[in-house]
Amino acid sequence: MDSIIKLLLGLVFARSTFGEKEDASLQTPPFPSFAVSLAEDSFWENFQSYKSDEDLFKKWHISRIGLKDKSTGEARPMYPAKWTLQEPYYLKSFKGDQCLSPATSNAPAMIGRVLPHPLDIVEGTKLVVQYEVQLQNKIQCGGAFLKLLPKVNETELIRYSGGNPLLELIFGPDKCLPYTDEVHLGLKKTDPITGQSEMKMLTGAPPSKLEGDRTVRLYTLVIDATTQDYEIRIDGQVAKAGNLLDEGSFQPSFHAPKQVPDLEAEKPDEWDEREIIPDPDAEKPEYWDESEPAMIPNDEESKPASWDETMPEYIPDPSSKEPEWWNTAEDGEWVAPLIRNPDCFKIAGCGPWSPHMIENPDYWGPWTPPSIENPNYMGKWEPPLIDNPNYFENLKPAQLENSIGGVVFEFWSGSKDLLIDNLYIGLHLEEAESLGNQTFIPKKKFQEEQIEADIIDQRGHIDHPKRPPTMEGENTVNNLFDQLTDYVDVLLQKFAEQSSIVQNIVGGSLIVLILGATSFFFLKLVMFQQDHSKGLGITNEGEKGLEEKEKDGLSEPKLEGSEGEPQLEIVETQVETDVTVEVDMEPLDPASTEEATGISLDSDTLNKRG
């Protein structure tokens, strides 16, 4: 277990890129040759050992689960995004530096693999997760976060649909403006009494940093299973640190509440909840005459002289005749319809005369006593708190419930040719730091040089050279530019905390947001099955949604349809209703790139049931 293996990397795997057109002023550095000592159970993936995508898909698998629309019978892959090996092109890296990249943007993306050595995150260990993300294009809405799974096999990855029980931890950046922009951290915990599992999400998570100069970013998570301390680093600098047990830092809390309202308690009959009552001492004043009607006839009017009360107001229509089909025996005597008597229009009027009604100046209306504050008001009744019969506490939330046996990247792919590289999952922070020092730091430095060279080319000078990144959390004073961007981050984060997101596959049911006006839509975290899923779902009831969001620590969109914004329709597709999740039961042929990438999925394959 503790045996150390020496890995010699770099030149061995580096693919020659001679012949590529290169910047005259900046030489692309060769792939670094370095020696890293990794513990046997550490997992490190730099994507250099794969000769082709086909090779990649022997280890990394894309889910082949399909979604079938019952009404149309159409099926489509649940994760349609393609994946590929790619070298950075926007800001270059070392020669032949291969990265993992979702090649399809604006689509649900998933790829995962089995870890060769499952990790037990127990007392005395530290979980360390680290990887690089590099943007090559702008990002409005998209993720780059990963999920750690319990022990899985390849078949389970190929059938992965995001639901229970395939999730232990979520970590990584996610940005979907204006709803969210943060580095998620979530731990799955199972309620020991109800057996229900749910994700506990970090509140006040740091901003995603998916923005700006598009140089490579390094995300690091450290969780100490002994002290319960956690740390999120971005580019080697601590972005958020704390203890998992800090009050309110995770939502929902790791513990059950000590006391809960007694749901059996009933409001006592004598409990007076009326804040305002009619004044019981008030009496109707003597002058108040309730007998006067609201309207009275106007006695100043008199009958006009030409008004003829004897003349009928209505007469049978003389132009109307009994129809031929009328059967007197069955239908009775035919009667002509009545019309207004035309003779009445020649005089002031006819028929019985009465004056117009006017408002009664003496009208008082019914008397009601004035309202006063209720002197016996006892406040709103609330059920008394009792000790929670389901109380439990979890003082070691850093210890994961299952061994970590797999990793998946599963998110809404929102930025074309996003790059993922140098993934480390292990128990040793020094290893992650050492890898970062030898891969991330030189890559970042070279990319910043490219930006500076570009600025010099354009303007002949540099105003504010960028500070080179450091792995260790140095106490460096930020320059003004950094302070400003940090300030914008804080604003964005505040905004994200208040409004919020998004999507979900809650307990195997897929929630798809369809934006009526455009085809743009969001998909965010795939969450764990849980009873509290009502709190995780998407709401369009503004205020309520906000409360729910705060309760769960997950951001959700406020979907009010305001002008200028696309109208959202939420379609919750569940197994019984519109869409079935069907598994392709055909055994996987890993040699087939098409199948392994899920690209060739067609309705026939999906409709076939094993």
Applying CB under 6 A, the residues found at the interface with ligand NAG are 153, 155-156, 430, 433-434, 437, 470-472
59, containing H or E segment: helix 53-59
Nearer to ligand NAG, 172 or 236 (CB): 236
Nearer to ligand NAG, 194 or 470 (CB): 470
Query: To the nearest whole angstrom, how small is the minimum distance from the Cβ of residue 226 to ligand NAG?
Result: 21
Q: In this structure, what are the phi and psi dihedrals at residue 385, rounded to the nearest 5 degrees?
A: -80, 140
Distance CA 582, CA 578 (A): 13
Closest CA to 198 of 505, 530, 509: 530
Nearer to ligand NAG, 308 or 433 (CB): 433
The pairs formed by 303-309 with CB atoms below 8 angstroms and a separation of 24 or more are 303/353, 304/348, 304/349, 305/348, 306/347, 306/348, 307/347, 307/348, 307/349, 307/350, 307/353, 308/344, 308/347, 308/349, 308/350, 309/350, 309/351, 309/352, 309/353
Q: How far is CA 461 from the centre of its chain?
A: 44
CB 290 within 8 A of CB 397: no
Neighbouring-strand partners of residue 413: 107
Nearer to ligand NAG, 80 or 236 (CB): 236
Neighbouring-strand partners of residue 412: 108
Kindly report the number of other CB atoms within 10 A of residue 233's CB atom: 25
Nearer to ligand NAG, 135 or 157 (CB): 157
* C-alpha dist (Å) from residue 404 to 41, 48, 70, 425: 11, 24, 36, 9
Query: To the nearest whole angstrom, how small is the minimum distance from the Cβ of residue 218 to ligand NAG?
Result: 12
Nearer to ligand NAG, 34 or 363 (CB): 34
Query: To the nearest whole angstrom, how small is the minimum distance from the Cβ of residue 57 to ligand NAG?
Result: 17
Nearer to ligand NAG, 430 or 463 (CB): 430
Q: Supply the DSSP string of 515-527, one letter for each residue.
A: ESSSS-----PPP
Distance CA 528, CA 200 (A): 10
Query: To the nearest whole angstrom, how small is the minimum distance from the Cβ of residue 474 to ligand NAG?
Result: 8
176, containing H or E segment: strand 169-176
Residue that is written with structure tokens 């969109």 in the block: 557
Query: To the nearest whole angstrom, how small is the minimum distance from the Cβ of residue 434 to ligand NAG?
Result: 4
Query: To the nearest whole angstrom, how small is the minimum distance from the Cβ of residue 470 to ligand NAG?
Result: 6
Nearer to ligand NAG, 435 or 527 (CB): 435
Per 3-state DSSP, the chain is made up of helix, strand and coil in percentages (nearest 5) of 15, 30, 55
Query: To the nearest whole angstrom, how small is the minimum distance from the Cβ of residue 152 to ligand NAG?
Result: 7
CB 210 within 8 A of CB 173: yes
Query: To the nearest whole angstrom, how small is the minimum distance from the Cβ of residue 423 to ligand NAG?
Result: 18
Nearer to ligand NAG, 394 or 434 (CB): 434
Query: To the nearest whole angstrom, how small is the minimum distance from the Cβ of residue 78 to ligand NAG?
Result: 19
3-state secondary structure of 556: strand
Nearer to ligand NAG, 437 or 485 (CB): 437
Query: To the nearest whole angstrom, how small is the minimum distance from the Cβ of residue 422 to ligand NAG?
Result: 14
At 30, the amino acid letter reads: P
Nearer to ligand NAG, 442 or 507 (CB): 442
Closest CA to 176 of 498, 523, 527, 487: 523
Closest CA to 214 of 454, 439, 425: 454
Q: Tell me how long the chain is.
A: 610
Query: Cα angle at 476 between 471 and 477, to 5 degrees?
Result: 145
Query: To the nearest whole angstrom, how small is the minimum distance from the Cβ of residue 446 to ligand NAG?
Result: 16
Query: To the nearest whole angstrom, how small is the minimum distance from the Cβ of residue 402 to ligand NAG?
Result: 13
DSSP state of 342: G
Tokens of 146: 């990963």
Nearer to ligand NAG, 160 or 179 (CB): 160
Query: To the nearest whole angstrom, how small is the minimum distance from the Cβ of residue 395 to ligand NAG?
Result: 31
Nearer to ligand NAG, 78 or 158 (CB): 158
Q: In this structure, what are the phi and psi dihedrals at residue 264, rounded to the nearest 5 degrees?
A: -85, -15
Nearer to ligand NAG, 127 or 144 (CB): 127
Nearer to ligand NAG, 154 or 454 (CB): 154
CB 499 within 8 A of CB 179: yes
Query: To the nearest whole angstrom, how small is the minimum distance from the Cβ of residue 414 to ligand NAG?
Result: 32
- Say which residues have a Cβ less than 8 Å from residue 102's Cβ, sequence separation at least 6: 81, 82, 83, 109, 111, 409, 413, 418
Query: To the nearest whole angstrom, how small is the minimum distance from the Cβ of residue 77 to ligand NAG?
Result: 21
Distance CA 178, CA 492 (A): 8
